[in-house]
Amino acid sequence: MHDLVIAGGGPAGMMAGLLFARAGVNTLVLEKHADFLRDFRGDTVHPSTMELMDELRLLDAFLQRPHDEVQTLTARVANRRITIADTRHLPVKCPFIALMPQWDFLDFLADEARKYPTFALRMEAEATDLLFDGDRVAGVRLASGEEVRARLTIAADGRRSVLRDKAGLPKRDLGAPIDVLWFRLPKGRSSQNMTGGTFGKGTLVVQLDRGDYWQCAYVVAKGGAEALKARGIEAFRRGVGEAAPELADVVGTLTDWDQVKLLSVSLDRLEQWSRPGLLAIGDAAHAMSPVGGVGINLAIQDAVAAANILAAPMARGEPVDALLPKVQERRIMPVRVTQAAQKAVHERLLKPLIESKAMVDEVPFVLRLFDWFPLLRRIPARLVGLGIRREHVRSPDAFKPE
């Protein structure tokens, strides 16, 4: 029997796997896919995460992986580009957001975790049900029928978590009036990263500058993607070009809908993250909107908090059921604040923009403030880059030489 089984090899699961194994906890991570290679997963690694890499003495190795650096976030409104966040003033070693394909980041965490004899990763191992010993969760059952028993199970299986449903953990749905269409468009390399968003006709187009291509997000009304597809790819290309004129010359590379992926946006959180033998973290505990790109950051912070609270007593062989609610107590405030901010953006900005189907022809007063008072750019930079109630690695390193 394992000390810990983690269902899900995303950012929360892999970070938790690394930290618990490092503390001497016999840890098994289960990932249902054959590899981490999937399109349109979040690619942002925030300054707070790179600070954690530094605390683990992994920052130099991490930065050797190919990545792009974003120091400013801009909004293009009424043919004006407004800088709304500037990370260069953050009190961290890496005052920028690193754009790195998530599969590279997850591969990096897996490679580092494998250096510990207490870590194991199984691919193509999908957890589909829970095992119980009385009322206590005692492990998971895989799609193959195999049973994997553990002293503690962590559900890190994403926003459509099977395990949180099997556990009967109550969920609160905050509602999301938008969905997002993801696609790539070619671009020429430039000396400055131009990541930002364009408030266009009836939509917001987010453009992540990935060097030689744009990773784009096109915001639509919830459930509106099918109607958009029914009008044809040519109409969609025209809509993208009208909303973000700088993309008009390259949007023609979209030739069919296979190049466009739908992200169904959710905004919810569990009211209870744990029960005896089970803890939910990351998207399984709180599905975040793509607004601000902070979902990965919150998931990783959850993993660090869980390890800080649970890893040492688990390594000593102590029961931890009584400690599980403390993870939620530690993390619920930043989740609530972040989701409240995301919901406000949904309801006050994106929903009216999409419903009006109008062109924004005047820079809103709030955005003009960022031009008039550049110091204001530090506020969103800190919220996005560092988050609220930032975690630090306090779990032990059982393999560190004395």
Query: What would the mean pLDDT of 300-326 be, rounded to a whole number?
Result: 97
Q: Determine what percent of the chain is predicted with pLDDT higher than 90.
A: 68
Among candidates 133, 289, 149, which has minimal Cα distance to 141? 149
Contact 195, 210 (CB under 8 A): no
Q: Is there a contact between 154 and 7 (Cβ–Cβ < 8 Å)?
A: yes
Q: Distance between CA 268 and CA 289 in Å, rounded?
A: 9
Taking the C-alpha atoms of residue 334 and residue 390, their distance in angstroms, rounded to an integer, is 9
How far is C-alpha 29 from the chain's CA centre? Answer: 18
Q: In DSSP terms, which residues pair with 275 in a beta bridge?
A: 278
Output the pLDDT for position 56.
97
What does the block give as tokens for 226?
């099918």
What would the mean pLDDT of 292-318 be, rounded to a whole number?
A: 95
Most confident by average pLDDT, 79-83, 175-179, 239-243, 245-249: 175-179
The predicted model gives 28-57 an average pLDDT of 86
Burial of 44 (0-12, 13-18, 19+ CB in 10 A): buried
**Confidence (pLDDT) at 39:** 56
* C-alpha–C-alpha distance, residues 68 and 275, integer Å: 40
The Cα–Cα gap between 370 and 75 comes to 11
Domains of the chain: 2-66+99-174+267-347 (3.50.50.60), 178-221+223-263 (3.30.9.10)
The closest alpha carbon to 153, from 393, 394, 331, 314, belongs to 314
Treating both helix axes as pointing N-terminal to C-terminal, what angle do 102-113 and 11-22 enclose, rounded to 10 degrees? 20
What is the pLDDT averaged over residues 107-121? 96
- Residues 17 and 119 sit within 8 Å (Cβ to Cβ): yes
What are the DSSP calls for 251-295, one per residue? GGG--SGGG-EEE----EEES--EETTEEE-GGGTEE--SGGG-H
State the pTM of this model. 0.92
pLDDT digits (tens, 9 = 90+) for 344-367: 999 988 888 888 777 777 787 888
pLDDT, position 300 = 96
The beta-strand segments (E) located in 158-202 are 171-173, 178-186, 196-200
Percent share of the chain, pLDDT over 70 = 97
Q: What is the mean pLDDT of residues 166-188?
A: 92
Task: For residues 15-43, give the mean pLDDT.
Answer: 87
Predicted local confidence at residue 188, as pLDDT: 80
Per-residue model confidence (pLDDT) at position 41? 61
